[in-house]
C-alpha cells in the first residue's frame, strides 16, 4: 500500500530522464522514489535516511518519509508532516533518539538533515551501526 502510492507519486510528471532514486538527491521525486524503495525492508542506514527526511522542506517528501517509517516500525512518534516546524523538529528529535537507542548509539548532538546520513559513533566500517544488521526479508 505505501510503496504503490510512493511509486505513483514519484512517476508523476512523466519525465523519462528523472534522476535515480537517492535519499540525498536535491530532487524531491528522486527522494520520494528512494523512500518507496527503503520502505519495503529498510536497513539501519535507510531508517536513518528516512528519519533525516522528516526535516525536508518538501511536504510530499515528509509525508512519504513518515509513511515509510510507520510502515517499517508501526510508530509515528507524534510526527505530523503538516505540523508547524517546531513541532516537526521535536518529533524528528524523538525519532533520532529512538534510532540511537535501538542501535546502541550515543544520542545525537543535533538533528540529521535531509540528504546527510551523518556518521555517528558505534558504526562499523560499512556505515552500519555496530551490533545490528539489516532485517532479513526471508526470515
2-39 pLDDT, tens digit each: 544 444 444 444 445 789 999 999 999 999 999 999 98
| The pTM of the whole model exceeds 0.75 | no
What pLDDT sits at residue 41?
87
Extents of the domains making up the chain: 2-10+21-102
- Grid coordinates representing 113 are 538533515
Give the residue with greater pLDDT, 36 vs 115. 36
Backbone angles phi, psi at 123, to 5 degrees: -90, 150
- 107 — pLDDT class (breaks 50, 70, 90): confident
Judge whether 122 and 105 are in contact, CB under 8 Å.
Answer: yes
Helix, strand, coil proportions of the chain in percent (round to 5)?
Answer: 45, 0, 50
- 130 — pLDDT class (breaks 50, 70, 90): very low
Amino acid at each position: 500500500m505505501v510503496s504503490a502510492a510512493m511509486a505513483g507519486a514519484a512517476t508523476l510528471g512523466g519525465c523519462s530522464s528523472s534522476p535515480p532514486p537517492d535519499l540525498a538527491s536535491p530532487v524531491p521525486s528522486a527522494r520520494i522514489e528512494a523512500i518507496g524503495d527503503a520502505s519495503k525492508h529498510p536497513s539501519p542506514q535507510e531508517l536513518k535516511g528516512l528519519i533525516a527526511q522528516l526535516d525536508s522542506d518538501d511536504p510530499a517528501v515528509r509525508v512519504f518519509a513518515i509513511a515509510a517509517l510507520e510502515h517499517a516500525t508501526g510508530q509515528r512518534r507524534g510526527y505530523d508532516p503538516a505540523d508547524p516546524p517546531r513541532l516537526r523538529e521535536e518529533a524528528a528529535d524523538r525519532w533520532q533518539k529512538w534510532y540511537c537507542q535501538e542501535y546502541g548509539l550515543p544520542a545525537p548532538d543535533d538533528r540529521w538533515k535531509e540528504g546527510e546520513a551523518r556518521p555517528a559513533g558505534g558504526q562499523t566500517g560499512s556505515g552500519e551501526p555496530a551490533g545490528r544488521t539489516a532485517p532479513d526479508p526471508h526470515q
